[in-house]
Amino acid sequence: MPSQYVIIGNGAAGVSAAEAIRGQDETGRITIISDEPYPLYSRPGIAYLILDQIDEKQIFSRKPAFYEQNRFELLYGRVSKIDPLAQRLVMSDGKLIPYDVLLLAVGAGPVPAPFPGADLEGVVSFDTLQDVHRVKKLARKARQAVVVGGGITAMELAEGFNHHRVRTHILQRGTRIWPRLFNQAESDIIEQQIRHEGIQVHYREEVAEAIGRRGKVAAVRLKSGQEMKCQLIGVAIGVRPNLALVRELPIETDRGILVDEYMQTSCANIFAAGDVAQVYDRWTQAHHLDILWPSAISEGRQAGYNMVAVARGQGQPQMYQKGSPFNAAMLFGLHVTVIGRMGEGEAEDNTEVGYLSRGSSHVWTAPFSTQFRSAYDRNGPASLRLVISDSRIVGALLIGNQQLADTIRDLVEKEVNIKPIEEHLLSGNYPLPELLQAVARQREMAFSRS
């Protein structure tokens, strides 16, 4: 009898898992449940869609025919309950869906606005394709907008408002941009670019309440007492894993669903992957969240492979080897890339992570006991910071020039010893590109001879 695989979530993790399952099991029944009425689309792509840099059709990573060709049953709807004893799901319409193996790829959702008036028309988040449609529609009639938050999503939302000719203000609770990741110089580069676009940044400011008129946003009152007129309020203060479905289940959770090295939860025959999964990380030897598109793909693929081994009772499950965190974004015309461990950020509050921004890794904000050293190479609106530990580059942050991004990522991933160039690197007296490319070439030559 064919195995029954059920995947809750039609995002990067869910679809990658389905593809991995089909590659191992030609006859198994694979059901994907989605609470959005679309085939798979690129979450990172919505940042380009709101700027009209791509057409909406370009955002879809898979077409409807893909599901038919791979014999995936795609159901649009919501799961209201998981029954692990009976191994079945209860849908919101009462339909029962049995499973042999289940994958929770339910993702993470935006943290709701924490102030009164959050239900007014004009208070928006920026997390889904439907959010893009909503923002574009509201922006047509808006003159001024306020963005609450300081991560990648907040910057993308501010840039989107500004693109649609809405005068935009960003409110920051702290004293600079993204202090958990950027140092002062890096924050200054981003701020300069933001102001160049005509967007105002306000520090040490928080919204006390949204003021409405006839059910629509008319202004915000700040905790400082100031009142700002606006018709749009963008809220991007972080995301948190969607844990509602597992609250009553015997599944271990922390900030997300805890999974072992095989992407399996503490509940038999139930796996988790993607933004909802808190995965063991070899870099810090702890469980971490990665709200990263590439991580969701690799986690989903590994979960799918291991689901087949469990369902069919044959084959050896494979351990998930978490790679170094990597994310690239375009902020106000500047390329920003983060690689590996960047926990040296000068946090202005407790280093304990509260919420992550989409496009962030828990690793980037976690405290470390290792003493890191940094090297800089700046030329105009560009910056490169390297984090070095035990003669290895363990992290890097590049703003602007991306010439060395691939080389550095390779050195970080492969934990290459840079002892031969470390003294020159830290002295700052030698051209950085030549030094890094030289050690990369030496490693390749040594590998080819072995």
Q: Is residue 320 part of a domain?
A: no
Residue 373 belongs to what domain range?
326-449
Residue 88: name the closest of 259, 79, 309, 265 by CA.
79
Q: Cβ atoms within 10 A of the Cβ of 378, count?
A: 15
Q: Do 215 and 229 share a domain, yes or no?
A: yes
Phi, psi of 405, deg, nearest 5 = -60, -50
Residue where a domain stops, chosen among 237, 268, 294: 237
Domain assignment present for 393: yes
| Residue in 351, 431, 422, 350 with CA at minimum distance from that of residue 384 | 431
Q: Is the domain of 334 the same as that of 444?
A: yes
Q: Do 139 and 75 belong together in one domain?
A: no
| pLDDT exceeds 80 at position 321 | yes
- Are residues 216 and 304 both part of a single domain? no
Type of residue found at 423: E
Q: Are residues 182 and 247 both part of a single domain?
A: no
Reading phi first (left if > 0) and then psi (alpha if -120 to 50, else beta), residue 380 is in: left
Asked if 336 and 415 sit in the same domain, the reply is yes
Q: Do 155 and 259 share a domain, yes or no? A: no
Residues 6+ apart with CB under 8 A from 209: 115, 116, 117, 220, 221
- pLDDT tens-place string over residues 15-66: 999 999 999 999 999 999 999 999 999 999 999 999 999 999 999 999 999 9
Residue 319 lies in a domain: no
Say if 116 falls within a structural domain. Answer: no
pLDDT-derived band of residue 86, with 50, 70 and 90 as boundaries? Answer: very high
Task: Report the pLDDT value the prediction gives residue 357, as an integer from 0 to 100.
Answer: 53
Least confident window among 3-7, 72-76, 120-124, 330-334: 330-334
Could you tell me if 215 and 277 lie in one domain?
A: no
pLDDT at 251: 96
Query: What pLDDT is attached to residue 271?
Result: 98
**Residue in 130, 309, 158, 175 with CA at minimum distance from that of residue 233:** 158
> In terms of domains, do 14 and 54 share one?
yes
Domain harbouring 265, CATH code = 3.50.50.60
- Same domain for 250 and 226: no
Kindly report the average pLDDT of the chain as a whole number. 87
Exposure string of 204-215, with b = 16+ CB inside 10 Å and e = fewer, is ebbbbebbbeee
Q: Which are the contacts of 340, defined by CB distance < 8 A and separation ≥ 6?
A: 283, 324, 325, 326, 363, 387, 393, 394, 395, 396, 412
Does pLDDT of 13 surpass 90?
yes
Q: What is the pLDDT of residues 164-183, one digit of tens each?
A: 999 999 999 999 988 878 88
> Which of 217, 237, 257 corresponds to the end of one domain?
237
Q: 150 pLDDT exceeds 90? A: no
Q: Looking at the domain assignment, is residue 117 inside a domain? A: no
Residue 397 CB partners (closer than 8 Å, separation 6+):
181, 182, 186, 336, 337, 338, 339, 342, 383, 384, 385
- On whether both 11 and 105 belong to a single domain, the answer is yes
What is the percent of the chain with per-residue pLDDT over 90, rounded to a whole number? 62
Any domain includes 176: yes
What's the pLDDT at 216?
98
In a domain, 118, yes or no: no
State residue 362's pLDDT score. Answer: 47
Taking 60 as the threshold, does the pLDDT of residue 249 lie above it?
A: yes
* Whole-model pTM over 0.85: yes
User: Of 286, 312, 338, which marks where a domain is finished?
Assistant: 312
What is the reported pLDDT for 385? 84
Polymer length in residues for the chain: 450
- Looking at the structure of the chain, the number of domains it has is 3
Which pLDDT tens digit goes with each residue over 213-236?
Answer: 999 999 999 999 999 999 999 999
What CATH number is associated with residue 350?
A: 3.30.390.30
Give the C-alpha distances (Å, rounded to integers) separating 59 from 42, 152, 156.
6, 19, 16
Residues 65 and 93 in one domain: yes
